[in-house]
Structure 1
């Protein structure tokens, strides 16, 4: 696994009208990594081969395996073997509950809101953070301009962690979940607080994305794409603002609109 090399060249036959030509093109790389947690095999995932330490830290964080920087003793990446060794201070009950189904109802409506046991204890996000609509649009354009691997291959998702003024971290990955884990993981490793930031992404806002931002206390998640109904139900319950379809001069605010300030002059 070649660290940081995200694309590779391939030969292809391209048909334009009735003309067939043989050409070279770039495709995105996809690699498997296996995480060993405290010397026990934990999970195997596929990802783009960059920022693996941030990906693993973010994954452990959003899954509830670690909650504080001091919980994580270290991450050792062995790129050639495709192995990552992560060590925590002590075993967390969340490890044994990882991926176990949970069908607990929410708010008396008899609806299965949290599918996995580790998600059932999430609490509403408490944050007074606000951002202007014009800032959202500007930062989304900046995120799209940074997606160089997507521009060359069309095969990645992009995610960014932002303040109201700037993009702090940006990563691309073949998986939209991985891209979010990478930006959250890097901020976690750097000791950056989350309650005055927002996540900006290219792909669909699903319920899993809401769980990720709720876990770390990010109050706002924004995408150029659409949310799902379950994501919106969960976001309402967890006090998270969801903004979708950010395109040039428009955007949709689905939940908790008080965090988006409409500019006086748009």
Structure 2
């Protein structure tokens, strides 16, 4: 069963002093529960697209897998909202691996803990030598935003894209900021794309969670339409990641490792 990314819902709209009955496009919110080797692992609330990428990217970012080939079998029951993962490892002990069964919501910032030991193990210090011009930063942001049909219809999703300095490789969206990045990570693993010399372009706030996830993916530059947090900046400095925020119109701010951004 393929789920729609949005639905028409009746609303009352106030405009120019009048209250009018009409319809609006509302983004779909969909829960999916992951079981690993028969054991419930986590429930995510997401936009129901590219679920295989989402599950694989999430498991990689949590340190459960390193490569797509670590998975023996993956079955997704879209009707009931379950993903059944069988790893090539015979067993996985959730407690020993420092995980906890938890609900992972679509809200921003407070849906996850930060100091999981799996974060320490899987976040990578960037070794990239890539740089971007100011014009390339602005162009990539404009292209990502312009390509997002679901955002234009609903205004209810976050956008993310994996890019080269001159082009978008893949774009994904989701109601959850971290889910959009997990889909990109999953796509990279499924298609064996080297991410060391790639860029993430992102529509949402750069929190410590988002910066940690970018480090897990392995990119060295993160471009955002929004602001970073102070902890995200400290992490970016430590992990050799260039964080660029408030890319709007013809201006932006560089918050860490500005040597990777040039005027021309």
Using structure 2 for the length normalisation, give the TM-score. 0.89
Kept in 1: contact 2:37–2:92 (CA 8 A): no
Kept in 2: contact 1:66–1:92 (CA 8 A): no
CA drift at 1:251: 1.2
Report the equivalent of 1:197: 198
Report the equivalent of 2:162: 161
Any residues of structure 2 matched to 1:64-213 within 5 Å, and which?
64-90=63-89, 91=91, 96-99=97-100, 115-121=115-121, 122-213=123-214
Unaligned runs of 5+ in 1: 101-113
Kept in 2: contact 1:235–1:241 (CA 8 A): yes
1:40-71 C-alpha deviation (Å, 9 max, x unpaired): 11101100010000001110111111112321
Q: Secondary structure at the match of 2:255?
A: strand
Report the equivalent of 2:105: none
Q: In 2, distance between residues paired with 1:236 and 1:93?
A: 34
Q: In 2, distance between residues paired with 1:177 and 1:216?
A: 12
Q: Secondary structure at the match of 1:120?
A: helix
Kept in 2: contact 1:157–1:176 (CA 8 A): yes
Any residues of structure 2 matched to 1:34-45 within 5 Å, and which?
34-45=33-44
Kept in 2: contact 1:94–1:118 (CA 8 A): no
CA drift at 1:94: 7.2
Kept in 1: contact 2:196–2:218 (CA 8 A): yes
Report the equivalent of 1:110: none
Q: In 1, distance between residues paired with 2:157 and 2:145?
A: 12
Q: In 1, distance between residues paired with 2:252 and 2:74?
A: 39
Q: Secondary structure at the match of 1:134?
A: helix
Report the equivalent of 2:30: 31
Unaligned runs of 5+ in 2: 102-113
**May I ask how many residue pairs the two structures share in their alignment?**
250
Closer/same/farther in 2, CA of residues 257 and 4 from structure 1, 3 Å limit: farther
- Compare 191-200 and 16-25 and name the one that shifted more: 16-25
Report the equivalent of 2:48: 49
Closer/same/farther in 2, CA of residues 21 and 216 from structure 1, 3 Å limit: closer
Q: In 1, distance between residues paired with 2:169 and 2:93?
A: 32
Report the equivalent of 2:237: 236
1:82-108 C-alpha deviation (Å, 9 max, x unpaired): 0111222215677731259xxxxxxxx
Closer/same/farther in 2, CA of residues 182 and 220 from structure 1, 3 Å limit: same
Closer/same/farther in 2, CA of residues 212 and 89 from structure 1, 3 Å limit: same
List 4+ stretches of structure 1 deviating above 6 A.
Answer: none
Closer/same/farther in 2, CA of residues 123 and 54 from structure 1, 3 Å limit: closer
Q: In 1, distance between residues paired with 2:42 and 2:239?
A: 28
Kept in 2: contact 1:201–1:224 (CA 8 A): yes
CA RMSD in angstroms comes to 1.9
